[in-house]
Amino acid sequence: MSVNDLATHIGKPAPSVSQHLAKLRMARLVRTRRDGTTIFYSVDNDHVRQLVTDAVFNAEHAGPGIPGHHRDASDLALLHAETPG
């Protein structure tokens, strides 16, 4: 994902996102790929991917309502319950 795409997705200024990503790159938590003037970022490995997933799930529990990752599972369970067979 590019810096601008990520910044738009999370609603933060691109320069701020870029600075944070640079620190993550220096820590070898993300890797980069350049295409012209655009730099794309991705997590470096499955361990980092799991760390990010766990952090997002934890943050979802801090907010009001049913966390998104539980809602998705509930929706899937309802779908299976309504499907004949």
Q: How does pLDDT run across 21-54, given as a tens digit for each residue? A: 999 999 999 999 999 999 899 988 999 889 888 8
Whole-number Å distance between alpha carbons of 35 and 18: 16
* CATH assignment of the domain containing 24: 1.10.10.10
Of 18-27, 44-53, 57-66, 69-78, the range with the lowest mean pLDDT is 69-78
Name, in order, each residue with C-beta under 8 angstroms of 34's C-beta and a sequence gap of 6 or more. 40
What is the average pLDDT score of the chain? 81
Length of the chain: 85
pLDDT given at position 75: 54
Query: Distance of CA 75 to CAs 64, 66, 70, Å?
Result: 18, 12, 9
Asked if residue 44 lies in contact with residue 55, where contact means CB atoms within 8 angstroms, the answer is no
Number of domains in the chain: 2
On whether both 60 and 39 belong to a single domain, the answer is no
**Residue range of the domain that includes 51:** 45-85
